[in-house]
Amino acid sequence: MKIKSKVNLGVTRDPKLPVVETRGLSAGYGAQAVISDINLVLHPGEVVGLFGANGAGKTTTMLALAGELMPMTGEVELHGEVTRDPLYRRAQNGLMFVTEEKSVIMGLTTRDNLRVGGVDIDIALGLFPELEKRINIMGGLLSGGEQQMLSLARALGRNPRILLADELSLGLAPIVVQRLLQAVRDAAAELGMAVLLVEQHVRQALKFADRAYIMRRGTVEISGTTAELMSRISDIEETYLTSSH
């Protein structure tokens, strides 16, 4: 699928320079750190998975990258500069954060949801042609999969430089999950967007990712390319991706 974009792609993105980097990042709630000493990096055009069992610290890491949580120690660097900006500032600088809670205004049609989000309808339908027949349907009457397609279209249609996607697939059918992950993969390849992807469907997500980090108990314990991780996926699933460990 080709993404038909009418937006200005802006400054040429050097794939050798990271657009996101953390160094010794710790963050949490109140005085309690949930993640500690997180070091990760994202480059333009790549899809990177962030995996782990429930409670491993994945969402807390995403919130810290998005500016919803400030670091307790360490730092977050975006586009080569350390930042403590809140989410709305980071959004103005090209970061989009899609959460498991679908960002759909239920009382507006699909068309008006896109307009409110500042997204060209043709671009959105280029991403998800399935929405064309639902363009005048209220958001609250869309299926869960259609709502998540709309949420992702609103994010990708603004041509972000960075996409943080937290559990896109939660509660959705496998065929819809594949559509969402393929759209993310295409956007990374065609627009040079850097993606950090939290997913429960690890094997499926790895089909679309370049590499991944595996978290346990608030720290990153494994990182590697897709091929490296798939070569030991059974051990990773047993040791790192079940809540009993």
Q: What is the distance between the alpha carbons of residues 146 and 155, in angstroms, rounded to a whole number?
A: 14
pLDDT the model gives residue 245: 46
- In whole angstroms, give the CA distance from residue 95 to residue 171: 25
| C-alpha closest to that of 111 among 125, 97, 98, 101 | 125
Mean pLDDT, residues 30-54: 96
Question: 23: which strand partners?
Answer: 75
pLDDT per residue as tens digits for the range 153-208: 999 999 999 999 999 888 888 899 999 999 999 999 999 999 999 998 899 999 99
The number of beta carbons lying within 10 Å of the beta carbon of residue 189 is: 13
- Mapping DSSP onto H, E and C, the string for 22-79 reads EEEEEEEECCEEEEEEEEEEECCCCEEEEECCCCCCHHHHHHHHHCCCCCCEEEEEEC
- Structural domains of the chain sorted by starting position, each given as residue range(s) with its CATH number in brackets: 20-101+161-240 (3.40.50.300)
pLDDT at 9 over 60: no
Structure tokens at 179: 């559509």
> Is 11's pLDDT higher than 60?
no
Rounded to two decimals, what is the model's pTM? 0.90
Quick one: average pLDDT of 232-241?
Answer: 94
